[in-house]
């Protein structure tokens, strides 16, 4: 494949990766927080202000 | 496509017998897997941060990327081989684990991105490549491999 096509592919795929990864981790954020909390302490269940 | 038959085969293979019977062997292979993952992460960080101009700016980016590429391939092969052995111990459980599939998709996409897009493009002199292509390649590469590593860690939590 020649360079201009590779450059365009790289830009498009990179943007897709950034968007998909952001959506993936945003969708996981609840599970991530809860699991970290269960694994490393109960800090996210505290009711203190 | 249902891939359950592969996991069922793996679950009854000699690899599964070994990984289930010998905890010490499993632990050593797991250690090798994690060292290779750290090595892969190191090569990704060094070469991508160089492409972004954050570190090693007194060394040519071609030189840094070429050197890191070699070790990246070694680390990826070690990760794949040790990963198959480790997954044989819990093959059926992994088949039903969402994070395992997130990791596999990230791994296959990341490897395809490296070998079919990143490397062929970076074989050209870097100063002739669009600077935004270089930056985006570096950023997306770090995001892909972070996702692979983090979802791999997540398998242990789920």
Share of chain B above pLDDT 90, in %: 41
ipTM: 0.73
A24 touches chain B (CB under 8 A): yes
* The pLDDT of residue A43: 66
Alpha helices in B52-60 (DSSP H): none
Cβ burial, residue B79 (10 Å; 0-12/13-18/19+): buried
Considering only CB atoms, which chain A residues are within 8 Å of B120? Answer: 1, 6
User: Above 60 in pLDDT, residue B80?
Assistant: yes
* The pLDDT of residue B72: 93
Return mean pLDDT, chain B.
89
* The pLDDT of residue B139: 92
Count the domains in chain B: 1
Mean pLDDT per 10-residue interval, chain A, length 49 residues: 85 90 82 76 63
Indicate if the alpha-carbon torsion angle B90, B93, B95, B97 is positive or negative: negative
CB contact under 8 Å between B113 and A13, yes or no, is yes
Under DSSP, the state recorded for A39 is: H
Instruction: Quote the domain boundaries for residue B54.
Output: 4-155
Q: Model-level pTM?
A: 0.82
């Amino acid at each position: 494949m020649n360079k201009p096509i590779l450059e365009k592919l790289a830009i498009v795929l990179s943007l897709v990766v950034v968007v998909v990864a952001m959506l993936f981790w945003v969708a996981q954020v609840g599970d991530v927080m809860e699991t970290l909390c269960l694994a490393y302490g109960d800090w996210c269940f505290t009711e203190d202000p | 496509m249902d891939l359950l038959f592969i996991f069922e085969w793996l679950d009854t293979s000699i690899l599964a017998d070994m990984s289930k019977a010998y905890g010490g062997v499993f632990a050593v292979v797991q250690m090798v897997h994690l060292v290779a993952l750290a090595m892969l992460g190191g090569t990704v960080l060094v070469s991508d941060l160089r492409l972004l101009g954050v570190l090693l700016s007194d060394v040519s980016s071609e030189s840094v990327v070429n050197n890191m590429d070699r070790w990246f391939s070694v680390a990826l092969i070690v990760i794949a081989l040790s990963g198959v052995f480790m997954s044989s111990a819990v093959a059926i459980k992994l088949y039903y684990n969402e994070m395992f599939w997130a990791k596999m998709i990230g791994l296959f996409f990341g490897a395809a991105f490296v070998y079919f897009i990143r490397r062929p493009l970076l074989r050209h002199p870097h100063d002739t490549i669009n600077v935004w292509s270089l930056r985006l390649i570096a950023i997306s590469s770090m995001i892909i491999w972070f996702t692979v590593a983090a979802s791999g860690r997540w398998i242990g939590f789920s």
